[in-house]
Amino acid sequence: MPTEEDLVFLGARQLAADIGAGELSAREVLDAHLRRIERVNPAVNAIVTLIADRAMEQAVRADQLAASGGPLGPLHGVPIAHKDTNMTAGIRTTLGSPVFADQIPDHDDLVVARLRAAGAISMGKTNVPEFGAGAHTFNPLFGPTRNPYALDRSAGGSSGGAAAAVATGMQPLADGSDFGGSLRFPASFCNVVGLRPSAGRVPAYPAALGWAWLPVDGPIARTVADVAFGLSVMAGPDDRSPLSLPEPGEVFSAALDRDPAGLRVAYSTDLGGTLPVDPEVRAVIAAAAGVFERLGAHVTEDCPDLSGANDCFRTLRAASFAYTLGPLVDAHPGLIKQTVVENVAAGRRLSAADIMAAQEQRTTLYRRMRAFFDSYDVLALPVSQLPPFDVDLEFPTEIDGTATPHYLDWMRSCTDISATGLPALSVPAGFTRDGLPVGLQLVGRWHGDFDLLQIGHAFEQATQHGQHRPRM
C-alpha cells in the first residue's frame, strides 16, 4: 500500500493509469493531496481557494464511473488546482485583484474545460500576481507565494502558486499561462518543468483578442513526460480560436525517448552578452552545456541576434494592457497596483506607427530565428538572470551590479524569447551554493514543441535535478 508521501509525488500519468486500473481510487488520491495541502500550504501559500467537499464529490463520481466500466478520460481522477487568472465555472476567480475578490464565473476557460473533460478533479485555484503581471507572485488579497526551497525567497510568477503546489506534492500537474515568462520563471525557481508552447498549441477561448500571440496557456509538472502528458490534454484544434494549430493533442502522449547524440546545441549564459546574469546562474548554464556534450551533442557557444526583441515585447504588451486593463484602471482608481497602472499609461502613449513598428520587429525576429535554426536544433539559455530573490521585494533592482529599475528589466531572459514566438521549456538544471534552484531554458524551432520536449527529456534523464525535492 503506497504511503501518502508516495501518492503525492506520483506523476499525473502514473496516477491516472493506477486509478484506471483500479489499483488506486480517486478518493484516496484526492484525500492524500488534501492532507498534503492542509500541512504544507500554510507555509508556501500556493493554493488560495480550496473546494475540498466539492472535489470529494467529484472523486466519488469518478470512482463510480470507473467501477461501472464506463469510458475514462486520460486524466481520470487526477486532482488539479487551476491558475487564478483562468475562469472556472462556480469557483471563485480573483485574478489576484481586489476588483474581482468575489467573482464567481459562470463558465470555464477552454483550457480548464479540457482538463475537466479529461477527468481531472478541480480542487481550487492557485495564487498569482495581480492580473498575472510580473514574475513574482504576490497580491493584496492573499499575499506572496513562497519558494518551497527557501521560504524567504520568491516562487516566481505569474504561475507561482501552480509551480509551488506541484513542487511540494499538493498537485501533480497544473495549468498556467505565459506572456513574458509566467510558466518558465516559476518552474525555474521551484525546480519543476514548465512549457511555454507555440501560440495556438493550446487554443484560447473565450478571448477578446483572439489573434493575440504573446499570451499562451501551458502545463507545469515535475517531469518533462508529465508536462507532455498535460499538453496532450490541453492541446488540439478548436475553430473558435483563430490561432489554433491543427495537430491533435494526442501527438504529445507519444514516448519522448530520443538519442541526443548528434544534436546541434547552441548555448549562451547571457543571451549573447546582452544581459547581466548572476555568476552562479552562469555556472549552472555552462555546466548544462557540458551535459549535452557528454551526451554526444555538438555544442557551440552562440546566440541569435535578439536586438529589437525588448522593444517589440514591451510595445505589444503595453498596448494589450491599455486595451484590456485600461477601463478597469479608470473605473477603480487606487485599487490596482502601480506597475499595471504604469503599463496601461505606457500603452496609451503609443501611436499606430509604434505598434506597427513592433510588428515589423517581430517579423524580423522570426526571420532571424528561422535562419539561426538552420544551423542548430535547440538553443540553451538561462531561464532567469538571477536565482530566486527575497520574497519581500516587489522585484529585483540589480543583477550582478547592473541596475534593473523597471519591473520588466530583470525578466528579459524570458521576455526576449517570448517576442520570437518560439516554444520554450524550463527544465531543472542545478542549484546555487545556497541550494536555490536554477532552470535551463531550451528554445525550439517554430512550432517544434514535440522535438523540444524530447530534448528536454533527454537532459532531464541525464541529470535528474528534478528529483531533489524541497524539505517541507
Is the four-CA dihedral 275, 362, 440, 149 of positive or negative sign? positive
8 A C-beta contact, residue 134 and residue 317: no
Q: Select from 103, 152, 154, 146 the least CA-distant residue to 125.
A: 103
8 A C-beta contact, residue 436 and residue 403: no
> 424 - beta bridge partners?
196, 443
Helices (H), 373-442: 412-420
Residue from 122, 158, 241, 244 carrying the catalytic annotation: 158
Say whether 182 is catalytic: yes
8 A C-beta contact, residue 176 and residue 182: yes
Say whether 337 is catalytic: no
Residue 110 is inside which H or E element, if any? Answer: helix 110-117
Helices (H), 199-252: 224-234
**5: Cβ–Cβ under 8 A, 6 or more apart, which residues?**
169
Residue from 122, 159, 182, 241 carrying the catalytic annotation: 182
3-state SS class at 3: coil
> 443 - beta bridge partners?
379, 424
Q: Select from 155, 192, 162 the least CA-distant residue to 177.
A: 162
What the block records as the C-alpha cell of 392 is: 519581500
Distance from C-alpha of 138 to C-alpha of 160, rounded to nearest angstrom: 9
What the block records as the C-alpha cell of 138 is: 504576490
Residue from 83, 154, 244, 320 carrying the catalytic annotation: 83
Say whether 68 is catalytic: no
3-state SS class at 324: helix
Residues annotated catalytic, as ranges: 83, 158, 182
